[in-house]
Amino acid sequence: MNKLNSFIQGYVSVVIRGEQREQFVNLATKKRLEIWDVRFRGGQGITMKVLLRDFFEFRPLLKETSCRVHVQERFGLPFQLNKLGRRKAFISGFFLFLLGLYVLSSLVWKVDVQGNVRLSEDEILKAARQEGIYVFQWSFRLKNQEDLSKRLSHSIPGVTWVGVEKHGTNITIQVAEATKPDERVLNNPRHLVAKADAVITDIYTEQGRPQVRKNTRVKKGSILISGIIGSEQNPQVVVARGDVKGLVWHEYEVSVPLIQKEKTYTGEWKERKYLITGDRALQLTGYGKIPFAKYDIVEDREDAKVGPYQLPVGMMTEKLMEVQYIERELSETDAKNVGLQQARSDVLVKNGPNAQIQAEKILHQEIKNGKVYLNILFEVEQWITEELPIVQP
């Protein structure tokens, strides 16, 4: 059931009691009455939600099945208006407020520019203003988005395409700049050297002279691929290109608390509903103190539409879900495994996507002050090259 429509039309939560309550549900479904969230409560009856207009169709079904109905809660705009109707001044103010929100939602409150790199935002906004796009402009005075896109594409130099999108009270101008051919980068002559102590496992040379072989131990700064080629009598300086893999050793220290806190949901929740107009929200339900000390908020927004057109109003539901933190005690083995996994993830992230752990060894392990402390040595196969410019006399 569409949440926005059900709120506008109004609905109630009811309990059906009687020996033939299942038959009542079948008859209601057969008559295509709008019921949902049907739950069987054993001897307590059947609970469900039903649209207000269909609730009044229950009478013949109740008579036929000898069941009784009890209304638990009432939801939706008709009931809200009924409450407000008891105070005419208040309801008049409410509708004036809605009118004010509608007027405000008919204005452009923000103009965003996206996709620009070389072009300045001010330059794009200046061109947009000439086409009538600016803050506090009436939305109904704007040309259609396709025309605006074409006109801006012609008026802004250095673009291949401009898109204009309207989201409520916001206008987004998406720019695709014309690309220029990349200028050729002139690299200076260089060596490729080791950035860490390692044992070579693989070498690939595209340009230059390799200085090491597989299974060779190298120190940090050792030349792996030389940028000097040719003979001693006729040397030539080039840009060394290639890659070298090696085994590198990394030492890590990690600590893991034996007492872990985990967040869980208790199943208790509270709901708040809002009427949304533009960027503003008017709370309709869920007033009062929040009965939870700790909670998460889950939002669900639904905009109103008429055919393909999106209206500047909608409904938002906030679900406040109570959370609690449960302490869980880890064994020394479990804490060690958690620490190992943390260290493995860190070493792979820091040493590139192609890094692979070949071996690992725990050098030291102890429990102190409620934590497990680990000292771990990893043997990692990774790319080890970095550039070293060749200084020419």
Give the pLDDT confidence score for residue 84 in this predicted structure. 62
d(CA 85, CA 89): 9
> 121-130 and 145-155 are packed helices; what angle lies between their axes, rounded to 10 degrees?
120
Domains plus CATH for the chain?
3-77 (3.30.70.250), 85-184 (3.10.20.310), 190-242 (no CATH), 253-259+329-387 (no CATH), 262-327 (no CATH)
**pTM of the complete model:** 0.48
Q: What is the pLDDT of residue 391?
A: 83
Q: pLDDT per residue over 201-247, tens digit each?
A: 999 999 999 999 999 999 999 999 999 998 888 889 999 999 999 99
The tens digit of pLDDT for each residue in 171-209 reads 999 998 876 655 555 578 999 999 999 999 999 999 999
**Cβ contact 216:199 at 8 Å:** yes
What residues have CB less than 8 Å from 71, skipping those under 6 apart? 12, 13, 14
324-383, pLDDT tens digit by residue? Answer: 999 999 999 999 999 999 999 999 999 988 899 999 999 999 999 999 999 999 999 999
**Gyration radius of the chain's alpha carbons:** 35
- pLDDT grade for 85, boundaries at 50, 70 and 90: low
Of 289, 290, 370, 378, whose CA–CA distance to 342 is shortest?
378
- Residue 384 pLDDT: 95
Partner residues linked to 164 by β-bridges: 173
Query: At 118, is the secondary structure helix, strand, or coil?
Result: coil
Measuring CA to CA, which residue among 163, 157, 164 is closest to residue 178?
A: 157
pLDDT tens profile 237-295: 999 999 999 999 999 999 999 999 889 999 999 999 998 877 788 888 888 889 999 99
Give the pLDDT score at 180. Answer: 61
**Does the pLDDT value for residue 387 go beyond 90?**
yes
Neighbours of 299 (CB within 10 A): 10
Asked whether 120 and 156 are in contact (CB, 8 A), the reply is no
3-state secondary structure of 142: coil
In this structure, of 115-124, 194-203, 265-274, 304-313, the range with the lowest mean pLDDT score is: 304-313
% residues pLDDT > 90 (the chain) = 47
Q: What is the dihedral of CA 359, 363, 367, 373, to 10 degrees?
A: -60
Residues 283, 274: Cα–Cα separation, whole Å: 4
